[in-house]
Structure 1
Amino acid sequence: MKKNRRNEKIRNYIVRYFFIIVWVIIALLPIYSALMTSLTPFAKLGERMLYPEYFHWENYIEVATQTPLWEYLKASIIYALGTSFFTIIISILAAYALSRFQFRFKVAFMMVIVAIQVIPQIVIVTPLYGLSNSMGLYDTYLIVVLAMVASAIANPILLLKGFFDSISVTLEEAAAVDGCTRFQALVKIILPVSLPALTTAFALSFFSGWDAYLYPMILTSSPGKVSMTVGLSRMKDIVTPWNWIMAGTIIAIIPPILIYLIAQKYLVGGLTAGSDK
């Protein structure tokens, strides 16, 4: 009996890890293909690339020196960090108000927040283009950041509200007895406890800003204001330099990976915050 149970347990492990390995291979295959292409000379593109055969690091040097890659990278960093900063500040205040206060149209306001998520960016970008021109904000970092914040803010607000709901109000009442104002209680008591949710909201906002494509493409015209996603797409020509594009792609995915690795221990806890409420 024990032997049968042990054999069944071994079979379960084998089946489980088999599917995990297959899933990991499928998930990493595009990245592996991009890496192999980025290390291949242009004349050798299209040959078999199942294993590393060329290590043409010159592709990275050429794409960095012969294209505005660093300007694309700078713009993407500004959009990602700007989106994260403004989204976190607004989300904290909005989520705290929704969690702790009762006011008219509260349910309607939350329904509007949810509805924002289903509005395509293409619907917003045309009137936003005209508005940015009339306000003198066209071709600036600010208009892209504000547009990205408006598109990315719904999930962080709902995420933080769920986490704030799970924090007992007695903590703030005890802080009030000690002389703290409501804002001081939020900063000194609520936010430190909410670090997993805040980290998750920051990571989600960063990824949204880093992947910005439509808004930078429509609302900017200067090469220095173009994001990595738009810049790499503009490298296509009659003869597309796929080795350069893949080299730029590998460089572009490094910052989000680093953010994910830094925040990964908080992501699961943050994404499930308040799920028991």
Structure 2
Amino acid sequence: MSHTAHIRSHRKPRRSASTIAMRAGVAGGVLSTLAVAGASGSANAAEPVTQTLELPTLTADLAAQVAQSADVTQQAAASYELQAERDAAAAKAAKEAKADLAEAKKKAAEEKKKAEEAARKAAAERASRSAERATLSASADTGSSDSSGSSAGSSTSTSTSTSTATGSAAAVVAFVQSQVGDAYVSGGTGPNSWDCSGLVQAAFKSVGVDLPRVSQSQSTAGTQVGLDNLQPGDILYWGGAGSAYHVGVYVGDGMFVGAQNSSTGVVKASLSYDPPSGAVRVL
């Protein structure tokens, strides 16, 4: 007997042929599956699947639309800006108009006040003028009485003071007497306001006689005559011949008509009221 005979053998029991065959089939199937999977994996590894997103192509039409939209936006912005400027201008204009209106009202009030003051002054001047005319008339009446009372001593003076104008001289006398009461204005030539030479020039122009415009020239426009030989229509002057500062027209009966000053206007007065320096006869 062998010395190892009592030791249990460690050899595994034999498997049957059917078991081996079954296990071999299973193994083969698994291997086949793995092989297919491996092959599929290799194929997938060789050709990876990718996904792409197609972006829209910027065509000419789309570009035009974008540009048009940008233009519209810009135009809208410009329109808003223009409207804002107009609103600001309108507000400024309204403010200026309000200020102008206030200034106009202020000026209107001032002008009204001035007009009222001028009207008051004019009324006062008219009242003063009326009073002075009354005084002049009284003086003229007195002068006429004195002249009549002294007429016996001078037949020449009597003839002069009572002479009656005829023809063109009468027309000149009628013209100046019709202006009595008109206003005196320096440089005035009518029809409702005069200065002394303007009245005399207009009176003679009414009968077709052209006289110089100023007193100095009118005082030498005709033949010099003495104050004791006056006839209606003669031009009276105050100052020297050629340097006279005032003129009037003798209307007869020791009276003259002249545009005296701004206080009296055109008056009819006695020679004694303001004795002239000389006289010239044109007609």
Asked if Structure 1 and Structure 2 have the same fold, meaning a TM-score greater than 0.5 normalized by the shorter chain, the answer is no
Q: Between Structure 1 and Structure 2, which shows a larger proportion of helix residues?
A: 1
* TM-score (normalizing by structure 1): 0.27
* TM-score (normalizing by structure 2): 0.27
Q: Which of the pair has more CA radius of gyration? A: 2
Q: Between Structure 1 and Structure 2, which shows a larger proportion of strand residues?
A: 2
